[in-house]
Amino acid sequence: QKEVEQNSGPLSVPEGAIASLNCTYSDRGSQSFFWYRQYSGKSPELIMFIYSNGDKEDGRFTAQLNKASQYVSLLIRDSQPSDSATYLCAVPAGGTSYGKLTFGQGTILTVHP
Amino acid sequence: NAGVTQTPKFRILKIGQSMTLQCTQDMNHNYMYWYRQDPGMGLKLIYYSVGAGITDKGEVPNGYNVSRSTTEDFPLRLELAAPSQTSVYFCAAGQATYNEQFFGPGTRLTVL
C-alpha cells in the first residue's frame, strides 16, 4: 500500500461550486498533514496544514482530518478558475523524519467558468 | 528575501554528461531537500541535509550526489546523465519543527 494516496483526477467543477479533494495515508502514527498547491510549470506552495481531528478553515479552504479513518480532505468553497492547479497531499515521513515529507501523486483540479 | 533559488531553469544534457544543479536559500533554514517530479507524479525525495556537512539519501538517490558546505547552498550533482533522469528537479528548505517546506522554482532537465 502506498503511504499517501490521492485521487489523481482530473477533477472538474464549475465556477462557484465546492471542490472536494481526498487523501488517505497508511501510517497511523502520522500527526500532521499538509496540502500544497502547484500551478502548471510552477513549484509547490503550502496552502493548508492540519494537526488535529476535525476541520480547519482558512478563507475559502477547509481541511478535514479523520485520524480513525486515516483520511484528510481539502474543500475549496466558491471555486474560482484561479484555483485550477494540482493539489498535493503530504505527511511527515515515518521514523525520525528530519522534516521529510511523503507526497501523494496529486489531484488535478480544473474549475471551468 | 529571495527564499529558495535554483539555477539553471532549463538544461539539455547528452547521455553520459555531468552537471550540477545549484540551490541557494536565504531563509537560514537548517534542513534542505532535493526532489524530482516526473509527469503526473508526486515528488520523490532524492537527498536531504539537516545541516552543513550532513547529508543523507532519500527515496531515489541512485545517479546523484550532494554536498552541503554551508547553510545556504545545497548543490545536486548528476554524474553520467541517463534518459531516466529527465525530470523537473525541485530544491526545498525547511525547519523540521513544523515540517513546512519552501520550494525553489525548479530546474527542468532533459537528457537526450
Question: What pLDDT does residue A107 have?
Answer: 94
Contact A103 B99 (CB under 8 A): no
Question: What pLDDT does residue A54 have?
Answer: 86
CA distance B64 to B58: 11
CA dihedral A37, A96, B23, B61 (to 10 degrees): -100
Per-residue burial over A80-97, b if 16 or more Cβ lie within 10 Å, else e, is eeebbbbbbbbbbbeeeb
Is B74's Cβ below 8 Å from some Cβ in A? no
How do residues B55-92 score in pLDDT, each as one tens digit?
A: 999 999 999 999 999 999 999 999 999 999 999 999 99
Find out whether the peptide bond into A10 is cis, omega within 30 degrees of 0. yes
Which letter does DSSP use for residue B72 in this model?
A: S
Q: Which of A4, A44, A98 sits opposite B103 (nearest CB)?
A: A44
Question: What pLDDT does residue A97 have?
Answer: 67
CA distance A85 to B109: 22
Q: Is B5 helix (H, G, I), strand (E, B) or coil?
A: strand
Share of chain A above pLDDT 90, in %: 65
Which letter does DSSP use for residue B79 in this model?
A: -
- A85 closest CA partner among A25, A26, A49, A35: A35
How do residues B6-48 score in pLDDT, each as one tens digit?
A: 999 999 999 999 999 999 999 999 999 999 999 878 899 999 9
Residue A85 has pLDDT above 60, yes or no: yes
Cell 483520511 locates to A71
Written as nine digits, the cell of B68 is 552541503
Residue type, B86: T
Is B89's Cβ below 8 Å from some Cβ in A? no
Residue A86 has pLDDT above 60, yes or no: yes
Question: What pLDDT does residue B48 have?
Answer: 95
Question: What pLDDT does residue A96 have?
Answer: 61
Give the nearest chain A residue to B108 (CA atoms).
Answer: A41
**φ, ψ at B83 (rounded to 5°):** -55, -30
Question: What pLDDT does residue B40 have?
Answer: 78
Beta bridge partners of A49: A34
CA distance A33 to B18: 37
User: What band does A99 get if pLDDT is binned at 50, 70 and 90?
Assistant: confident
Give the nearest chain B residue to A4 (CA atoms).
Answer: B42
